[in-house]
Structure 1
Amino acid sequence: MKASRHVAIGIAALGLVLLIAGPLIPGGERLVRNAPADSSHITDLARAEDGSILAGTQDGELWRYANDLWTRVNVDLGGHPVTALSADLAGDASKGPIGTGGGLFNAPSGLPELRVRVRDEILAGQRLLVGTGDGLYVQGDGQWLRTLEGISVYRLETQTINNQRWVHLGTISDGVYSAKTEDLLSWQPNRDGLPETVNVFSFVITDGGRLIAGTDQGLFWQEAPMQPWQRLKVGLEKSRMLSLYLESAKSKRAERLWIGSDDGLWRVDIDESGGAPEAEAFAELIQAPPDHVRYGVSWIVPFGDGVMLSAGSVYHYGPMGLKGWYWISLAGLVLLLVGGWLIPSHKEADRSASA
């Protein structure tokens, strides 16, 4: 005997609610893989001005992530691994300068080909700088100007302080070099306070304008260019800081520093209210299954309310729906079907009413 119309409708309504609510129920923050289908090893990650994410691969492919979809960018890089993407690439990614293991593709107009393995690239004022394992190439008038020969350049960063714009070089074994943008051929060693033969892999600028360097011996910060470096203790003083991303302070939260290391993704809140950046606690490891992160976290970029990172593949960390939400929606679908089946027909309803 079927249930009364009110009971059946109630069961169906509950099913409909569960069906809709399943994917909407918050489940906290998680790390999930979000990579181009069938892509090879991810070697570079950047965020374009339009908010899309760019990913380069070991096989010379370039991918763009926008509107929840990865699409292949039509650019021929000769199969060379992508090693450097400009963070300000927007629109057609195939038209911006792209650093690879075989040279710089799409160099600025009027410049000759640059066929060296590119480590990093950055636009300083109107000049493109290209870091390599054997010095720095600076865009000149119709030519590449070479400097710092013999220095293994790994990372480039710009900083504006007291209306003066600087460029900093992170190197392998030689610490940091710095120069003002009006004279990009005159570089000064900027390593006072850094350990000897330190490797500098990453930089970030704090809300207070201070420069933080990620090294193979932890984090160091500098009040202003050429001033002594000081250690920023976050509990990772013996780790390699391969990548850094700083999330600016919000109304109820301090600055959040995201750290990519050989051990995975870390985060720590930074307080600058006391006149110097200090960690509010030791860095927190973002837990993930052992097979999720098989390589060091080499790039971190902002994405939505979280971050995207590369560690051999591409991963997204941030607020997610409830894990296993589909079971809730499936239960809702079952209740919806049961409720529909239990609703009595008009004849049964009339028979019940006459009885």
Structure 2
Amino acid sequence: MSDFPAVIVGAGQAGLATAYYLRKLGIEPVLLDNQLGPGGAWQQYWESLTLFSSAGFSNLPGMPMPAYDGFPPRDHVIDYFTAWEERYKFDIRRPVNVSKVDHNGELFEVTAGVVSSGQKQVYTADNVVMATGNWSSPFVPAVPGSITGQMWHSANYPGKDTFRGTRVAVVGGANSGAQIAAELTEVADVIWLTTHEPRWMPDDVDGSVLFKRNRERYLAISRGEADPGGVENLGDIVMVPPVLRARNEGRLKATPMVDSLDELDVDHLIWCTGFRPSVGPVRHLLNGYAPKVEGLYLIGFSQANGPGADTIMGVSPFAKQAASSISKRLNHSGE
């Protein structure tokens, strides 16, 4: 007999949403999270980062995000996650690192180490949900050459004050690259490197439009219809106020990406080049992003689930589907 009907790895938006729907079906999971407190990857984001959606389009199931005038900043999101956890009081154990997930032919065995002590514990479970996001797997492209300065990634970007009075190269033509480059122009000499001209979204387009488009795509795909396509025709960069202001003031100008890093004379280089799904502990149980064993679920990954799965509000339908599948495996009637 297993310790738990379901172990959820990760207590960010995907893990919490899945736990919520499992409880609705009478199933109490345990969540294993490697952060020090609520908020998932938002615990690691730089202080000035904001959502690209209004609070009304950034809700976890069961409890709306408190209103905010404009785009909610990092701390507003963390406070919301904290209040959500206080309300529902799931069994969340943190900080622990899950190093391995095995399947013995009947049950899953989840090996997790307590960060403070290093003590390891093995949890057995009938089902495992990987809701680990991608923040811990930053991607850096292979570019020839080197710089004498320090390299960073948006994953560990500490905020603009660290770079005050320095020369900084920011690589990446999407949202993180634009937002980091924009704020650094206030304090540093910045070169913004992109592989193509920036594709600005219309000034009145925000995350609510992106959510609606992703919802339309999800519904079409679930009906077996052709994918109607995303927002690629609108652009890549949401015009949050700091980015819009920097662009309009002429501070945010893109330069073509260099062929070699040797061409750069900078003190710092910040890669804003995205992430890959953090599924290392279950990689051997996957064929691509498809589980090879029943009872294993990847939730919160657009690559594995579908459009919008990696957003706070967009993950809900995929979490609900996973909870329903787990309930059926456990023969729960639920609600």
Specify if TM > 0.5: no
By percentage of residues, which structure has more helix? 2
Larger Rg: 1
Using CA pairs below 8 Å that are at least 6 residues apart, which structure has the higher relative contact order? 2
TM-score scaled by structure 2? 0.26
By percentage of residues, which structure has more strand? 1
TM-score scaled by structure 1? 0.25
